A and B are shown apart, each in its own frame.
Chain A
């Protein structure tokens, strides 16, 4: 059925080349920045300056093919696998957390696999799986979506995999619940309750700091448990508790100025910012390309989000709209949190910058997700535009 339909609409169908172009541009820019940030340390540690570049480029090529493939197939096809995807993500998270198959890197058990080269981070899969699952569930419940039972089901489904992720990866957990929250927000007809919820959440977050200090004084909490907060408030005074890394990022940003030191000229990447090609890559972008370059990159992300909005608004049905909304929430939350961490606007937590940071799993599943979005765009008939 799908095939016939696809063939039928081929002439009139739409494909969002603007989005495709942004994706290509961002991932290629990412490659350049990974090369720039990792060359020096890779040369020193591995004797091969292009190590990270070559790995990422290979994965990018593969992921790109995956993306095109996914985008050419009707997204309703992928929606059939939701139950399987849901179960798979729960099982994978259980395997990571509770079996020897879960591999520890830098003290965090986040990898699933049998060796260092054959392993991946299932949290990335959980994100895309939950976007699909939540979209399908909401479509089923859309008539009574504002009933408390519907709320319970939507979020209840997210809780098992979400908590499993949260166990050893706070930031991914936040992203997962954030995505579900955004999708539910779009599906719902209400506004006030969301505003109240967000307001309440923020108030709680602000109250948590003085409350935490009081608990430390009362002896309930240990001071080190608030280290992240202390570092965030005053990275210079808590350098050894983690402020060192934050400060190094700020040094990089601060020394960039308006137009930066020029591509490749960062000094902070020479070992000062640890693993500069990962979470902190944005700080090196700031140092090398300055405020101008960094702002351009952020506007590009904004443009991408806008493309999502257009695709979602014109999606042939609610399922497509929700999938794209989920992707939009995903990219938006991840970009905002990453840059907020790098600029020390919020306490430190490890989040990668989509399309730019080094990381194979993350790139592969991002591209798959983009494939879904492009696939939704591909189902838009030009008449509806």
Chain B
């Protein structure tokens, strides 16, 4: 029984939120609180299963799961032309996918808990929770699948549900506009991804990532596919100069959905890394592709912090810093690619992956704090806020943790990953390290401005009666802050286990192919 349960873990992780998504509107007709409870329980179960799956991956190696035919010669479609196509979808979960799964499940669970009070005044909560669960399914599918077309389908699930959630506050024109922009940008990215899939399928009759990686002849068409995939996923990750949708979407979405959008941009970043490292692997030109990533990273960092400095809308400000944070990850991974074969290449990759985890926590926490400020004061503009530390002590403390982490101040988790990034890129090119450090100083200045304008200063008469956030909103922030403190104080606890394994898995193209089809 236990074996059977373990064998079907990936299917359960997808099936439980999917089933709950369609159950939600039905329960909603009976009891609203019951619906919220079911959503949280479903996501809690998914979280536990993801941890169990990750544990399995980190102890026993890559986990393979076939939906449909268990082997290529089993349940198959026989075409008149003589082709035998096994009918199945394969999930391949290695240490990198497992890490992304943990991020997805934890942020989705915290987002659902936070939503309990945050969206209680909206009548369309049934749709909200259905879409939130579908978005979670889309992210899980993207990070678990071993099939390129499957990845496209899950990207679409993620994009459609994400766009609807960005436009959730239908009474506001700006939300609908942001949702529409997100939809157009997502469709454009998905279209180019589909174009790349077509190019690859047309040549090799294959969609499976491992099989494609093994069979690829690295033709001109494969180069065109690579360009389309990099462009699509870089845009979906929010890399500058294709980042402009990010502050719109993050700024207008409910805070709990901004948290989910952080995870979704990281799922796209994961897809980008998977394409580069697993699909094309050792055949990419490290200098060209590495420097492309570095340029994306530098642009994202510089544009992100500069634009954030000018913002007075708190959520847009955090949105721009999220762009800068994506830049740090791309910069580190770019250095890892460009310096492939050197001693610090692996360290740069590990640093980039470590920062993915830390960014999800830091930016996620800051969005939740921004949501609390909006929920209690109704204000989105920093100029309308002040002196809130008097009435919102816990929220202030959580913001300070988020501030320190995102600015990379010791001893937070953000410092640990940024230290590794600085060191590895310094060994590659000191100028890059100087820019990265300067941008972190800017980041500190930006959040000190937020801290001063919103939390410090005299008690404003208009905000004298503001109360602390309700428990359902404090709990997710407390959990995030606690995890950040633990990772900050014991960085090696996560780094030497989860992060290092994820980096090794991402680099091990042969291992990925061998796990899927045997024999690299």
Q: Do A and B bind each other?
A: no
A residues whose Cβ falls under 8 Å from a Cβ of B: none
B residues whose Cβ falls under 8 Å from a Cβ of A: none
